[in-house]
């Protein structure tokens, strides 16, 4: 849906979240780079705010297969509870060769997607909440989002 089609309500993020690895390397943080020290987001037409802080984002205990890639949406509700939604794993080699794409998962109900974290597992499995988001075992990419993108990731 385009914003021009929106009659009432709407759910989107109004500022860059600045997602990055947390001080606890199995978690991520919000470090809004624009000087407002937090993120403004909208759920069903009502604005909310969450302050930047370390270790706000904890992954749920899922395992990701070695040599596979996956997107984890970072969602927040009106009470500032942050959760992650796990996407579908795709063999990383299939993404880089153009055989397959990496699709965005669907956000949970009554939440706003403020960003996403892509994890490309190396030779070892990635265990969410246990494996560090740094080092030689994974490659991690952070995305700050206005809304969930329409098109999948192709590389």
Element (H, E) at 114: strand 112-121
| Residue 91 located in a structural domain | yes
| Residue 137 located in a structural domain | yes
What share of the chain has pLDDT > 70, as a percent? 94
Closest CA to 32 of 54, 13, 12, 16: 16
pLDDT tier for residue 13 given thresholds of 50, 70 and 90: very high
Q: Determine the average pLDDT of the residues in 104-128.
A: 95
Q: Determine the average pLDDT of the residues in 5-28.
A: 88
| Residue 151 located in a structural domain | no
Which comes out higher in pLDDT, residue 6 or 45? 45
| Residue 150 located in a structural domain | no
Task: Tally the domains of the chain.
Answer: 1
What residue numbers bound the domain in which 69 lies? Answer: 3-144
Separation between Cα atoms, residue 72 and residue 95, nearest integer Å: 16
Listing DSSP states for 14-38 in one string gives -S---EEE-SSTTEEEE--TTSSSE
| Residue 155 located in a structural domain | no
Asked if 48 contacts 78 with a C-beta cutoff of 8 angstroms, the reply is yes
Average pLDDT, the chain: 91
The model's pTM:
0.92
For residue range 39-69, list pLDDT tens digits in order: 999 999 999 999 999 999 998 777 899 999 9
Separation between Cα atoms, residue 53 and residue 64, nearest integer Å: 26
């Amino acid at each position: 849906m385009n914003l021009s089609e929106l009659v009432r309500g709407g759910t989107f993020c109004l500022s860059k979240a600045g997602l990055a690895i947390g001080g606890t390397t199995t978690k991520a943080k919000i470090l809004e780079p624009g000087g407002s020290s937090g993120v403004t987001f909208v759920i069903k037409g009502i604005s909310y705010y969450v302050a930047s802080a370390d270790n706000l984002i904890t992954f749920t205990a899922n395992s990701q297969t070695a040599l596979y890639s996956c997107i984890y949406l970072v969602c927040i509700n009106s009470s500032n509870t942050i959760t992650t939604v796990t996407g579908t794993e795709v063999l990383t080699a299939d993404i880089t060769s153009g055989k397959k794409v990496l699709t965005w998962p669907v956000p949970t109900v009554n939440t706003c997607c403020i960003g996403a974290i892509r994890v490309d597992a190396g030779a070892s499995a990635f265990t969410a909440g246990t494996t560090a988001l740094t080092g030689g075992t994974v490659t991690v990419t952070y995305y700050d989002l206005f809304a969930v993108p329409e098109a999948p990731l192709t590389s």
